Amino acid sequence: MKPFILASGSVIRAEMLRNAGVPLETIVARVDEGSIKSALLSEGAPARDIADALAEMKARRVASKNPEALVLGADQVLVCEGKLFDKPDTIDAARTQLRTLRGKTHELLSATVIVEDGAPVWRHIGRAQLMMRPFSDAFLENYLQTHAEDLFTTVGAYKLEANGSQLFTRVQGDYFSVLGLPLLEILGFLRTRGICQE
């Protein structure tokens, strides 16, 4: 059985896989996401292609130094009315973003690529649609203050499993993809490779 590496520093991604009994090591991929994203956007690439390309790049980067392993790269993007949103990096950016998303439905795409022997051998994009309620400005200010530490670690400035549930009236599609990985599909692949039991 080959070693399995998660090329991501995300705590919840590692936790989801470990809870499912997947033996893994995590190595954070050093990739300049911002410039890759800008380049692809300027070429007019659709959101799913951008997420997929970033997931592949992270997996390849870690795999190049760990050629004996299966390496999983992941990327999540948020799309609302055709526009791609990034992780906010200040409270003001989080406020602006949440005001823009308020009262609308956005989509989260969770791209995953698994690389083996220097090439992708499996890829999947999970999707979820989230309806954000028309919350008040008072609610928003309270939310920004209470959850300041979590605002900058996710593309949506929320964690649905923790503070985010108050933002939404409805969540459809793959819940695991909201958390950051299309888990059930990944486990299906890992079973074909003997990393999980059939």
String of contacts with a second copy for each residue 14-53, x by CB under 8 A: --x--xxx--------------------------------
Contact between 196 and a second copy per CB under 8 A: yes
Cβ atoms of residues 84 and 48 within 8 Å = no
Q: Which is nearer to a second copy, 9 or 188 (CB)?
A: 188
Q: Which own/partner contact pairs does 144-150 have at CB distance under 8 Å and 24+ positions apart? A: 144/91, 144/94, 144/95, 144/98, 148/91
What's the CA gap between 70 and 72, in Å, rounded?
7
CB of 135 to a second copy, least distance (A): 7
Contact between 11 and a second copy per CB under 8 A: no
Q: Known catalytic residue: 150?
A: no
Q: Among the options 32, 49, 52, 75, which is catalytic?
A: 75
CA distances from 115 to 103, 111, 120, 157 (A): 39, 13, 4, 29
Q: φ and ψ at 6, to 5 degrees?
A: -95, 115
String of contacts with a second copy for each residue 107-146, x by CB under 8 A: --------------------------x-xx-xx--x---x
What's the CA gap between 4 and 86, in Å, rounded?
28
Contact between 168 and a second copy per CB under 8 A: yes
What's the CA gap between 99 and 132, in Å, rounded?
10
Q: Is 112 helix (H, G, I), strand (E, B) or coil?
A: strand
Contact between 1 and a second copy per CB under 8 A: no
Kind and range of the H or E run holding 148: none
CB of 47 to a second copy, least distance (A): 23
Residues labelled catalytic: 75
Residues at the site binding a second copy, with contacts judged by CB under 8 A: 16, 19-21, 133, 135-136, 138-139, 142, 146, 161-163, 165-166, 168-171, 174-176, 183-184, 187-188, 196-198
